[in-house]
Each structure stands twice: as structure tokens, then as C-alpha cells.
Amino acid sequence: NVFNMVVEVPRWTNAKMEIATKDPLNPIKQDVKKGKLRYVANVFPHKGYIWNYGAIPQTWEDPGHKDENTGCCGDNDPIDVCEIGSKVCSRGEVIKVKVLGTLALIDEGETDWKIIAINVEDPEADNYNDINDVRRMKPGYLEATVDWFRRYKVPDGKPENQFAFNGEFKDKDFAVNVIKSTHEHWKALIAKKTDGGEINCTNLTVSDSPFCCSQECAKATVDAAPPCEAANPIPPE
């Protein structure tokens, strides 16, 4: 039940950074909507994202597959992870996490699983083996997580989000099965057995994938990207 996690958003930050699945090699970029960079608002009493937030690579929530548990199709992204350890991670960091459970968010009609996990290098990691350990060791954190996902789009004028299972968390074994299922969907995607639409599947590591490219090709793609400039100030609102 240990998986790699790519950190997209460090805890307490607001910029909505995510793996850009439509770009070659899937870099992490800030999401843009209606020409504006996206941020999550501070919804009282929360400050930005309340965990290190990211994704498990080699997973895909297939928008053409209706989830048997939620009755809704996938959100077309890798599976999301909320890492609850004490360290504030860096964007782009890849960490090993121990899976503890999952929450089934229904985001605008799509299944959007949120895996709850802890960094294996966290000093308290040995004390966490299932979702009930989070309830015992960090009282209120799971309730805050449901509250955050329910209300984080309200400042944008959208309704509250809904959940499958009445917002109840499922345990570690259930979460691992969800990850395995989304990994199977990813394998079909990367082998071109499923149509991924606009998703860019160019990769260096899956040798039998029709999308596999050379190190030289990948380097040229990275070198062609514009240089990183100074960050824009966070909007006061």
C-alpha cells in the first residue's frame, strides 16, 4: 500500500497547480480559466490547501467508465492524493506515501477520488495504517477535509460539491483497489487501447507504448519550453 505521489500543491498555498495532461510530457502548470490564473480561495477557517496535494502517476480516471461505486464517470485526470504528514513538501517533489483511505467526491457530476495518505518518511508514519488512525491521531482533520472539498468552489459562484457514500471515508483496502482500477485504465490509455482524446501520452519509460519517445526527443521538448519568469503576485481577493 505504498505508492509514489507527485506533489502539485504544497500545503497552505493557493495556486491551483496541476499536471497538464494535454501538454507533451505532462509538466506541472497553473490552471487557467477564462484567461486568468486559478487560485483556491481561503474558505474560513482554512488557509489554501490543507494538505500536500498531488497525484499518483500511472493512474487515470477514465471519463468513459462509469464507476460502479459512485454511478458517475471519471474526471479524466490522474487520481488525487491528500498527504497529511507534518512536512510541507515542495512542488514537483516525488514522495513515497502510505495509503490510508479515500473519499469519493462528485465534482460537477464526475467521480473524483481523493486518496488520504501519509509520507512514509513522516516521523509518525508508523502510527498510521488505516483511515481510523487519522481520526484517532488527528481529530477533526477528516471532517475538515470533507468541509474543504464541499465548499472550495463556492467563492467562485458554484454550488457546494457532493459526495458518494454520504461523505464517509472508505478504508485502506478500498482505496488501494480504486488505485489498481485507475492503473488498469491508465495501462489501456498508454497502450492506445482506449481513446484518451486530447491527453498527451508521450513518455520515456513505457517501452511497448506507441507513445514512447527517446531521451533526445524529451530533452528537445523541455528545452523548447519558455524560461520560468518571476511569479505574478497573488490577487488580493
Mean pLDDT of 29-38: 92
> Facing residues of 96 across strands?
4
Report d(CA 39, CA 22) in Å as an integer.
20
Res 197 pLDDT > 90: yes
Res 172 pLDDT > 80: yes
pLDDT recorded at residue 232: 83
Q: What is the DSSP letter of 212?
A: B
Res 12 pLDDT > 90: yes
Report d(CA 91, CA 84) in Å as an integer.
15
Mean pLDDT of 149-169: 94
pLDDT recorded at residue 26: 96
Q: Over the stretch 203-224, which tens digit does the pLDDT of each residue have?
A: 999 999 999 999 999 999 999 9
Which stretches of the chain are assigned E, i.e. beta strand? 2-9, 17-19, 28-30, 32-33, 36-37, 52-56, 79-83, 94-107, 110-119, 162-163, 170-171
Res 51 pLDDT > 90: yes
How many other C-beta atoms are found inside a 10 Å radius of the C-beta of residue 143?
A: 11
Q: Over the stretch 56-83, which tens digit does the pLDDT of each residue have?
A: 999 999 999 999 999 999 999 999 999 9
Q: Over the stretch 88-145, which tens digit does the pLDDT of each residue have?
A: 999 999 999 999 999 999 988 899 999 999 999 999 999 999 999 999 999 999 999 9
pLDDT recorded at residue 108: 87
Phi, psi of 39 (to 5 degrees): -130, 155
CATH topology of domain 2-200: Inorganic Pyrophosphatase (3.90.80)
Percent of the chain residues past pLDDT 90, beyond the cut: 91
Residue in the block written with cell 507504448: 209
pLDDT recorded at residue 43: 92
Q: Which of 49-53, 143-147, 156-160, 227-231 has the lowest mean pLDDT?
A: 227-231
- Whether the model clears a pTM of 0.85, i.e. scores above it, the answer is yes
User: For the chain, which residues make up each domain, given as ranges?
Assistant: 2-200
pLDDT recorded at residue 235: 83
Mean pLDDT of the chain: 95
Res 225 pLDDT > 80: yes
pLDDT recorded at residue 231: 84
Is omega for the bond preceding 45 within 30 degrees of 0, making it cis? Answer: yes
The three-class DSSP label of residue 131 is: helix
